[in-house]
Amino acid sequence: MKTFLAAAALAIAGVVTVQAADIAPITAHWTKLGERFSALVYYIDKPDGFHVVVTTQQGMREKPSIARLETVLAAGQSAAVSIPRAAGEAPEQIVLSNAGGHLHIAEPPDSVSTQ
């Protein structure tokens, strides 16, 4: 029974698709966060790590910003940005990681490309 449950969990987990982007410093990257929100991500590479800025907004680009997050990621560190959804549903989220020479962004499906 435990083997069956583990196999079922892996099968379900395999259905969820995560896209990713790797961006260079000062490169803006737009991504969707669910059906109603988006995020603009960019960073500056400084001696103490990547200074990452994430600005979220409703819609893709036409509405004013809702929130702005700034963080510093040292090599190997990660941070998540999420937007809540309905009760009982997992939040929409992106995970930002300092991957050495670039910022790695694990994002939900249907993301928008680097600009």
Is residue 3 domain-resident?
A: no
Q: Range of 62's domain?
A: 18-107
Mean pLDDT, range 98-115, rounded to an integer: 73
Is residue 113 domain-resident?
A: no
User: Are 58 and 36 a contacting pair, CB within 8 Å?
Assistant: yes
End-to-end CA distance of the chain: 49
Is residue 29 domain-resident?
A: yes
Using one digit for the tens of pLDDT, what is the confidence trace for 68-103?
A: 999 999 999 999 998 888 899 888 889 999 998 899
Query: How far is it, in rounded angstroms, from Cα 69 to Cα 109?
Result: 22
pTM beyond 0.85, yes or no:
no
* Beta carbons within 8 Å of 72's beta carbon, 6+ residues apart: 46, 48, 49, 50, 51, 52
Counted domains in the chain? 1
Is residue 8 domain-resident?
A: no
